[in-house]
């Protein structure tokens, strides 16, 4: 280590392909170009609160470019500003932010690199406000972060979802069924939109466009009259009927985002079968979209983001996330990233393109 320079890195929120590629990029460049020592914080903000970390050597990140998940572990429930503590059968929330700030200062780090989505980077902004030098790197399969055109992990998730839709096509045709493929997407329908178009979905349902079951049923019947005895429905887990609500699978009280969605495909399947008389089946892609090796695109993007993040540390450009605008990498204030999810605009060109090839959005 040259000049006693040290940085820390953590991953928060849901895992996705490409995280390890980012960890690799940050670690290798920081060591090779700037002679920094790298501290890997374990299990996201849990590690910040409980001082769980380890030193990352060059050899620790060799060979992890294609590895899914995160070698540091992650958490969707650890928030230093609202940390869940169980006392008997009761769950209490405590502000542990002062402990988190104190622990980071004791590490004598130059910067804390936070890899995550809007929840993780919202906490990163709070830590920056409380005196910790921070930069953010945009990670989420949902592609719903403000300030960036794309996040790493999204392309991989779309590939996985599209492969699922492709495989569903053959069995749908063989049995003359309506096949519903439920994909992730709580607030934003980017995965459903992209994989639905790529997979030739006949009906695509996203959170941004409330649907009518009768419109969907009409589309299925119309296809049958034209000799298309099957239909493919791609639905985001956060889609909801007009005037209705989302389908909640369970509540995780200790999480900063307690609602866990899932099951809209099964609800919709019963409704479609009842209205059309066509046998309907549902496949939930679920966490398959988070797992496995990243696509080449995500490996390249993760490497670009990670190495640019190290340059930002060198230039002391703290309080920002590295974003993508067109082909360029840009600085985005974390305060802007924390303002909420980036949803699909109703005038998005992809929606128009899909409609022009007779794709139904249930409206």
Alpha carbon distances (Å) from 125 to 46, 121, 193, 218, 305: 17, 6, 30, 47, 18
Cβ 185 vs Cβ 240: under 8 Å: no
Position 3 scores a pLDDT of 60
Cβ 334 vs Cβ 125: under 8 Å: yes
Say how far apart CA 250 and CA 275 lie, in whole Å. Answer: 28
Position 1 scores a pLDDT of 46
**Which helix or strand (DSSP H or E) is residue 8 part of?**
strand 6-11
Instruction: Find, among 108, 170, 153, the residue nearest to 287 by Cα.
Output: 153
Contacts of 310 (CB under 8 A, 6+ apart): 25, 26, 29, 30, 33, 34
DSSP output for 319-349: SEEEEEETTEEEEEEHHHHTT---PPPTT-H
> Does residue 142 have an active-site annotation?
yes
For 33-85, how does the pLDDT look when each residue is reduced to its tens digit (9 = 90+)?
999 999 999 999 999 999 999 999 999 999 999 999 999 999 888 899 998 88
Q: Please, what are the domains in the chain?
A: 6-152+294-337 (3.40.50.450), 156-291 (3.40.50.460)
Instruction: Find, among 268, 352, 270, 337, the residue nearest to 123 by Cα.
Output: 337
Position 257 scores a pLDDT of 66
Active-site option among 43, 118, 126, 142: 142
Position 309 scores a pLDDT of 97
The verdict on pTM exceeding 0.75 is: yes
Find how far residue 264's CA is from the centre of its chain.
Answer: 19
Please, what are the averages of pLDDT over each run of 10 residues along the chain (363 residues)?
80 92 97 95 95 96 94 90 84 91 94 94 96 96 94 96 93 86 93 96 96 94 88 94 77 61 84 90 90 95 97 96 96 92 94 95 93
Position 360 scores a pLDDT of 95
For 97-114, how does the pLDDT look when each residue is reduced to its tens digit (9 = 90+)?
999 999 999 999 999 999
Instruction: Find, among 14, 13, 16, 363, the residue nearest to 206 by Cα.
Output: 363
């Amino acid at each position: 280590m040259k000049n006693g320079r040290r940085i820390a890195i953590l991953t928060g929120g849901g895992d996705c392909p490409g995280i390890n590629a980012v960890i690799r990029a940050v670690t290798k460049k920081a060591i090779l170009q700037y002679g920094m020592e790298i501290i890997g914080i374990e299990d996201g903000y849990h590690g910040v609160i409980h001082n769980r970390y380890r030193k990352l050597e060059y050899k620790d990140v060799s060979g992890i470019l294609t590895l899914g998940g995160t070698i540091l572990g992650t958490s969707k429930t650890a928030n230093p500003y609202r940390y869940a503590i169980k006392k008997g059968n009761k769950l209490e929330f405590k502000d542990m932010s002062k402990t988190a700030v104190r622990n980071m200062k004791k590490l004598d780090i130059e910067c804390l690199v936070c890899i995550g989505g809007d929840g993780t980077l919202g906490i990163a902004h709070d830590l920056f406000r409380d005196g910790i030098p921070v930069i953010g790197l945009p990670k989420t399969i949902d592609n719903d972060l403000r300030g960036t055109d794309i996040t790493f992990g999204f392309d991989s998730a779309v590939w996985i979802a599209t492969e699922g839709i492709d495989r569903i096509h053959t069995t749908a045709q063989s049995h003359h069924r309506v096949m519903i493929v439920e994909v992730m997407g709580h607030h934003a329908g980017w995965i459903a939109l992209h994989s639905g178009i790529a997979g030739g979905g006949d009906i695509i349902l996203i959170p941004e466009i409330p649907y009518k079951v009768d419109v969907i049923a009409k589309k299925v019947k119309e296809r049958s009259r034209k000799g298309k005895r099957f239909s493919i429905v791609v639905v985001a887990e956060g889609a909801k009927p007009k005037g209705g609500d989302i389908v909640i699978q369970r509540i995780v009280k200790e999480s900063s985002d307690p609602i866990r969605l899932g099951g809209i495909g099964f609800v919709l399947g019963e409704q479609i079968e009842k209205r059309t008389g066509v046998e309907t089946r549902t496949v939930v892609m679920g966490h398959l979209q988070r797992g496995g090796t990243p696509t080449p695109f995500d490996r390249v993007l993760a490497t670009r983001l990670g190495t640019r993040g190290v340059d930002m540390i060198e230039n002391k450009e703290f309080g920002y996330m590295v974003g993508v605008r067109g082909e360029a990498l840009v600085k985005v204030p974390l305060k802007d990233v924390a303002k909420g999810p980036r949803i699909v605009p109703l005038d998005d060109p992809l929606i128009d393109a899909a409609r022009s090839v007779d794709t139904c959005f249930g409206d």
